[in-house]
């Protein structure tokens, strides 16, 4: 769980420090030492949040719920709801956008060098949702199984709402610069939710192993 969360933190931080407007001539860089310091601060912060979640809301370490199905059911409903919305709104949304732009009628060699903006934005939403799914799904189910099913379902529901708001905002961002879209107010809380759940699961597992 620690390495999954650490990988996500590194990826998110690297993405945020290298993504710039394509019209800008210079690309800001972050010294490696500074980057590592910032990453370790994030790891420490999420470890503390995970410990708080484990000690305050986790069940007895090393034990499973009496009724596993009942404990997991709320989280299963939330995850299935997100997957259905992803399929209909994001995956099929890209296909419908391509249909509106006539891209489906063209052969590969006839495609324009620069992708249509609406198609690009919808494709980016689809890709980013997919990138976030492993940590979300694994974190949600392990949190429900090892810590607390109600807490996992509530956190995952907040995550889903934020991700749907992220998708809706990004799809309507035509003509705007990346800094103007305001995606951080959706993505940052989602990073906190997923990384905290995964860290809590790891800490809960360690507590169960050493008890």
Q: What is the pLDDT of residues 9-35, one digit of tens each?
A: 455 544 444 444 444 455 566 688 889
- pLDDT of 122 > 80? The answer is yes
- Cα separation of 128 and 163, whole Å? 10
pLDDT at 16: 44
The model carries a pTM of: 0.82
Q: What is the pLDDT of residues 49-80, one digit of tens each?
A: 999 999 999 999 999 999 999 999 999 999 99
Confidence at 179, pLDDT banded by 50, 70, 90: confident
Q: What is the pLDDT of residues 155-172, one digit of tens each?
A: 999 999 999 999 999 999
């Amino acid at each position: 769980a620690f390495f999954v969360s650490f990988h996500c933190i590194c990826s998110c931080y690297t993405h945020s420090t290298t993504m710039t407007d394509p019209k800008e001539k210079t690309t800001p860089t972050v010294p490696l030492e500074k980057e590592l310091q910032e990453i370790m601060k994030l790891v420490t912060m999420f470890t503390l949040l995970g410990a708080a979640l484990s000690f305050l809301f986790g069940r007895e370490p090393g034990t499973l719920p009496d009724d596993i199905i009942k404990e997991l059911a709320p989280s299963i409903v939330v995850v299935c709801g997100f997957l259905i919305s992803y399929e209909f709104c994001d995956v099929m949304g890209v296909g419908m956008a391509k249909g509106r732009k006539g891209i489906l009628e063209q052969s590969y060699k006839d495609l324009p060098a620069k992708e249509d903006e609406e198609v690009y934005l919808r494709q980016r939403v689809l890709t980013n949702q997919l990138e976030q799914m492993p940590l979300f799904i694994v974190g949600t189910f392990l949190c429900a199984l090892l810590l607390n099913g109600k807490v996992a379902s509530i956190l995952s529901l907040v995550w889903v709402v934020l991700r749907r708001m992220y998708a809706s905002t990004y799809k309507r961002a035509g003509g705007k610069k990346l800094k103007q879209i305001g995606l951080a107010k959706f993505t940052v809380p989602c990073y906190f939710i997923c990384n905290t759940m995964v860290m809590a699961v790891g800490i809960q597992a360690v507590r169960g192993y050493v008890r």
